[in-house]
Chain A
């Protein structure tokens, strides 16, 4: 088993983790940034549309471009990368205050990393059809919007031939446009709330521009299909009998994101039941576990990658102070 020591260990190399690592490394703290994916960048890598970087870089970039700049920043600052490496466990604080991270990777097997400060930047995961318990069949053709985004933008595979979006989160809206551009007509977006969840700009550019109807205050009451999705049934909340059936073979769920805190929870970090992110001291970003900090989507879900990066920089400063390097 390999053992290595760093001042700072950042878990997650997305918009948040990369920004944090750039700050701590630049300040002279030896920094390792760990990601389980085979390339750094986090969810940015599958967001091939533009709209990133307006705040942080003062210019409009695509997700992968934004990620590339962030990776360069962190690399130039001297951060060390561990890619394709999953953090399985964070130990309790040792006598000297340091914590041991257990990493599994195909490249180096089990590795133990000792760090004075740990920055959690694990991002979030998507809520699923199962969380909502939508009635009906469990056939093929039901995806979270993020998975479909990955299928299309990273693997280059078409998820179906006609689709309905459940929910109106930004990922779903962006996927509505993406599917349309890929020759997969989107029949509708269905939102149970009276107001859409996504940005007004995305409603206009991703639905309205393509004439995709958005049904508000409407529930998906059934998914039908034997092997593959054949239709969805929807009904307005105020008149459940006014059901209508929309034929399609693909359903994308865009019904919210949940901070990815399994690892934090195991390390004893207390979570806020409202945000599902760690409870942190305002402006300090330190969790209830000493020496463990959190930023980006693992803390709470951010609308924009830029905001996750900016928050991560503040969090990194605070981590540096805690180890006497600021």
Chain B
């Protein structure tokens, strides 16, 4: 039996696991998907927001965003995930917008954001020479930046695992019963877990999970955002994250220099009825390119390499709901974690630990925390460094993904950390994320996953469940008179 079960291994649940791993309690992290970060935490803008979009005193998300923002540099240093504190600018193209931008700046000052600047037109072009003509001024928040969101979540989960947290993949909590001060949970496939306390960090499905535990009744709305990725050679790659002036429902369409080195444009924001609907659409694509091309020079559909969509899990009021449940016993809610949920997550995780303590779970700091093994990336190394690594492990000089320069050693490392679907290996290493989108490396990666795990290639999936790649082998095909049939 565990002390704590965290439901959901997105940024929220993973951060809670990371902090709890530093305490002397037994923790299990359960997710319904084949790996961590497969919910909205893999499909977002990857921005560590600057702490000026929301009021710190009036909203919980504003407060946690700023706290999270301040925690990122140290966490990136410790855990080694790609993060770049490149700064954020908000661009005004009209007098009205300049007015709005001033409000954002004032809010930043009120919030206590360090280094925030109200900028003249000249200063804006100096900060971002790729801005299109017509900018009248704006705001610069130097503490903002970009992070590779999945790499961040994986590094939290892996650190938690090194420090004793158990990660249960493919565990969809479908029922729960509270007996003798213990929550007994069942998964869709009939597996069981029990824990004294439960954290609901189930993102889009936190309403459903709350209902399973008899917690607060609420509805999570799915607000879809599409994003489009451009080749790393796109001339649009800006120096800063470029924001327009925000609207009521979103921060608008941005031009983002991703931490992975590609340029990304997006997102849109539309409520959709289906929580599984992550389709991209032609109208959003057109909207995004029109708006992005208006802001930054060199944005072109010619450079498109990929597109995706994520769903923001939004509560009616718009704020996060993080609290000890008033209805279900030993149950903590972390719900409505829409944007800036990624930025806020380190602080949300910490807050969840303190709520567990408040709810009665006794815990002390652990003495020994396992050190983080160094994270080496071929693409960041010189030929001399690579040759040195080769002496220890020849897999370092076997290039698997040519577009992103990923070696066999990095793929093996991902697999040995338990990432056995093609998407997870991709998110862990970047193999298949470049311009050829896996056309070259997929077959090589299948072979490595299969070799390392013993799973036959035919059973490998893109992202778990029924997302298989293959339907048997050519040897099974039989010629039946005038047709061919598969066994």
Contacts and interface: CB of A to CB of B under 8 A. Distances in A.
A213 interface: no
A151 interface: yes
Nearest to A250: B471
A137 B467 contact: no
28 contacts: A1-B384, A84-B398, A86-B399, A88-B383, A104-B397, A106-B397, A109-B397, A110-B386, A110-B387, A110-B397, A130-B229, A130-B304, A132-B304, A133-B228, A138-B278, A138-B280, A141-B469, A147-B442, A147-B443, A157-B473, A180-B484, A182-B486, A183-B477, A183-B483, A183-B484, A226-B466, A228-B466, A262-B403
B16 to A, nearest CB: 28
Contact of A110 (B285, B383, B471): B383
Interface residues of A, number: 58
A141 B439 CA distance: 13
Interface in A221-273: 221-222, 224, 226-228, 249, 262, 265
Contacts of A226: 276, 466
Interface stretch (A11-19, A58-66, A121-129, A292-300): A121-129
Nearest to B475: A156
Interface string B448-482: 00000000011001111111111111111110000
Contacts of A221: 282
Chain A CB within 10 Å, residue with most, of B282, B394, B439, B473: B439
Contacts of A126: 436, 439
A216 interface: no
Contact of B471 (A88, A146, A161): A161
Given A151-B443, A222-B279, A128 B305 contact: yes
B462 A139 contact: yes
B437 interface: yes
A125 B472 CA distance: 27
B291 interface: no
Interface string A181-193: 1111000000000
Contacts of A102: 383
A131 interface: yes
A157 B390 contact: no
B408 interface: yes
Contacts of B402: 36, 86, 262
Interface residues on B, range: 35 or more
A152 interface: yes
A109 B399 contact: no
Which 9 residue pairs across A and B have the least CB separation, nearest first? A109-B390, A183-B484, A140-B462, A140-B467, A130-B306, A110-B387, A227-B467, A227-B466, A106-B398
Contacts of A135: 279-282, 285
B443 A150 contact: yes
B233 interface: yes
A234 to B, nearest CB: 14
B308 A138 contact: yes
Nearest to B466: A227
Contacts of A152: 474
A131 B304 contact: yes
B57 interface: no
Contacts of A160: 471
Contacts of A138: 278, 280, 308
Contacts of B399: 36, 86, 88, 104
A224 B281 CA distance: 12
Contact of B439 (A106, A140, A146): A146
A156 B447 CA distance: 13
Contacts of A109: 386-387, 390-391, 394, 397
B387 A1 contact: yes
B386 A104 contact: yes
Contacts of B443: 147, 150-151, 154-155
Contact of B398 (A89, A105, A265): A105
Contacts of B366: none
Contact of A183 (B384, B391, B486): B486
Chain B CB within 10 Å, residue with most, of A1, A107, A130: A130
B217 interface: no
Nearest to A110: B387
B193 interface: no
Interface in B122-151: none
Given A86-B399, A140-B463, 10 more contacts: A105-B398, A109-B386, A110-B387, A112-B383, A129-B437, A135-B285, A138-B308, A139-B467, A140-B467, A158-B472
A278 interface: no
Contacts of A133: 228, 280, 285, 301, 304, 307
Nearest to A152: B474
A36 B407 CA distance: 12
A136 interface: yes
Contacts of A112: 383
Contacts of A157: 457-458, 469-470, 472-474
Given A104-B397, A133-B280, A157-B474, A128 B467 contact: no
Nearest to B280: A135
Nearest to A221: B282
A159 interface: yes
Contacts of A129: 437
B368 interface: no
B469 A159 contact: yes
B395 interface: yes
Contact of A125 (B397, B440, B471): B440
Nearest to A162: B471
B485 interface: yes
A128 B387 CA distance: 34
Interface in B222-250: 228-229, 233
B6 to A, nearest CB: 25
B470 A158 contact: yes
B386 A136 contact: no
Nearest to A153: B474
A89 B402 CA distance: 12
Contact of A158 (B394, B407, B486): B486
B140 to A, nearest CB: 32
Interface string B386-427: 110011001101110011010110000000000000000000
B468 A140 contact: yes
Contacts of A218: none
Nearest to B308: A138
B176 to A, nearest CB: 26
A84 B1 CA distance: 50
A184 B486 CA distance: 8
